[in-house]
Structure 1
Amino acid sequence: MDERPRGIPLSVRGSVRGHETIAGMGRYRSFRQLTRHGRPGVDFVIRFRPGRSGVLIMAPHGGAIEPGTAEIAEAVAGGNHGFYSFEGLRRRSNGELHITSTCFDEPTAMRAASACRTVVAVHGCKGFEPFVQLGGRDERLKDRVRKALEKRGFKVTEDPRLPGRSARNICNRGTTGMGVQLEVSAGLRKAMFQGIRQASAARPTEVFLQFVEALRGVLALV
């Protein structure tokens, strides 16, 4: 798999807009279907790094599909948790590469998830206001994530349209069958990076660092 060097400045492809489409609007219903029309290294790239903690942090709609999500996931994973991202590389129409979470069956992602106890999936959702929506079947971990983020001043909600409770959802594909889904609003992602509207060299802000630190603190106890 492609391994981009970690660290900052980060590369955030595409732009984040408050009217970003809600999850589930992609054209393809499986990875196999997507590969009939999309080429690795041209339309998308897959990055994977195994961890040693039994926790996988993933961004199934990274790159220009949901900008900023891969950077968040990679920073939260750090050097001890597993990291996976599927990233759109196109100049336009990256939304077509969005495979909804219950249909996301890219083989590397499936193997990585099934080898871990806990999967945390980072997504992007629409919204000008800065907020995070939690989903997934791991209620205990969701509660701890909520408290940690709220303690640092982040607004945390839940959206019945994005519950993340299906057993087929990629966040629930770990060995426990329970994971957490984070939907990070366009407004919050914009606040996390300086220059996120540019195609390169977006730098993380203090908001990004606080968000990542909160999640890493929770996951250190999983």
Structure 2
Amino acid sequence: MADLYASYTALAAAQTEGVDYERRSVPVTGSRWCSIAIHGGGIEPGTGEVARAVGASLMSHYEFAGIKAANNGDLHVTSTNFDEPTAQALVTGSLRCLSFHGYTGVAGLAETSLGGLDTAMGARVGAALQAAGFRVISAAQEISGSDPANIANKTTISAGVQIEMSNALRASFFPNGDLSRTMRDSGQRTAAFNTYVAAIRSAYAGQARMSCGSINVSRWATVPWAAADTDIVCAMATDALAAGGPHFLHLAARFADTNNCYLARLAFNTDQTITLTLRKRVAGTETLIATAADTSTLTHAAGRFFWLRFQVTGTTLQAKAWQDGTPEPGAWTVTATDTSITQAGQVGPRTILSATNTNTLPVTASFEGFQQISPQTLTVTRSVNGVVKAQSAGADVRLTTPTTLAL
């Protein structure tokens, strides 16, 4: 059935907010993920409740909720036409979006259909749900979320995850399968609801913050990696412009300890330029290997994220950097060879403020989307200094919990 309204703008002109519908938005400071349900309330019952629970204190969340006594389906505006400004602003300012929807599905069959253009994160969500015992399938074309105009895909990476939940699945989230507003508003949830939400929240990956309360002191957050060759990527930012001396943000590879590893380093300089270098630490001595010839297209700003990719293959070291929201460059920005460190080791980010830095402390460095490009399996072991440690054995290695580091 075609939508009654071609846009939120048209809907708002005909319906009364607070009587027919509500808009609910809860920002979470520091998070660049969002969890949304644009067909919440009585439109696709259960979607808003899941979106709120997934986002709670973890990521910003938004719900457009139908609250009419009947005929809430009239308030359905398809994802490609949903132009409500609060939702648009939230998604376009986010790195990743999880968009929750409901569909009829096969009677009695509880399943999740996954779509959206963020296929890597969709696969991660799917794997987490399957591991928790839920049935997951690829979304049919009509609910695939593959249109770039879909609100879920309007993130800074132009991709999101669309999570379609069947009627039977959503009914399983509430006692006696009761999807009524009275039940949903009562706060009662089943074990299936809690397990489902926890599984999706576990896919929230690659988030870490390092609070730099001293100058010239390194902060490290590393995870084991079984192979000597590695290809890692991460988005990084600091919350202030550099004063007196640079902010140094790194990715480390073949990390044996803090005195022995390879580094790709972004220097956020006091004139807002950015310098990319390859470096090594051997027996505690840090040495410059190579400097990128041109990073003039990059300009530092407080809170602005830059992606850094670092590949070590045999004796070849390569790195590239680009601003969040822009395409990854095809070519490596800097390449060099070195034979000093050959053994497998850990991988992960490092932060240090220049000895001449005069910023008001602390300076907070943020890292998002940290992952190993090569397909490997992750087995979580234990948390050390605030970051989940992981042992690789065959999907992406990622920092798997939102973490604040105060080292």
1:187 to 160, 164, 168: 168
Q: Which deviates more, 125-134 or 56-65?
A: 125-134
Which of 68, 89, 93 lines up with 2:71 in the alignment? 93
Q: What is the CA–CA distance in structure 2 between the aligned matches of 1:205 and 1:70, rounded to whole Å?
A: 16
Identify the residue that residue 210 of structure 1 maps to in structure 2.
Answer: 195
Q: Secondary structure at the match of 1:189?
A: helix
Q: Which residue of 2 aligns with 1:83?
A: 61
What secondary structure does 1:181 align onto? strand
Question: Among 35, 38, 43, which residue is 1:60 paired with?
Answer: 38
Shift of 1:53: 1.7
Q: SS where residue 197 of structure 2 aligns?
A: helix
| CA-CA distance at 1:36 after TM superposition | 1.8
RMSD: 1.3
Residue 153 (structure 1) aligned with residue 133 (structure 2): yes
Q: After the TM superposition, which segments of 4 or more aligned residues of structure 1 sit over 4 Å from their partners?
A: none
**Counterparts of 1:10-29 in structure 2 under 5 Å?**
25-29=2-6
Higher percent of residues as helix: 1
Post-superposition offset of 1:202: 5.2
More strand by share: 2
Cα distance in 1 for residues equivalent to 2:63 and 2:3: 17
Question: In 2, are the aligned partners of 1:25 and 1:98 still within 8 Å (CA)?
Answer: no
Aligned residue among 153, 163, 173 for 2:144: 163
- In the superposition, the TM-score normalised over structure 2's length comes to 0.48
Identity %: 36
Distance 1:210 1:179 in 2: 22
Corresponding residue pairs, total: 199
Whether 1:125 aligns to 2:106 is: no
Deviation at 1:165, TM superposition (A): 1.0
1:199, 1:161 → 2: CA distance? Answer: 27
Structure-2 residue corresponding to 1:15: none
Counterparts of 1:160 and 1:198, CA distance in 2? 29
> Bigger relative contact order, structure 1 or 2, given CA contacts below 8 A and separation 6+?
1
Q: Quick one: distance in 2 between partners of 1:35 and 1:198?
A: 24
1 CA distance for matches of 2:170 and 2:181?
15
Taking the aligned partners of 1:209 and 1:145, their CA distance within structure 2 comes to 15
Mapped pair 1:41 → 2:21: no
Distance 1:194 1:33, change over 3 A: same
Q: What is the deviation of 1:74?
A: 0.4
CA distance in 1, matches of 2:141, 2:131: 24
**Structure 1: distance between partners of 2:172 and 2:203:** 22
2:296 alignment partner in structure 1: none
**Corresponding residue of 2:307:** none
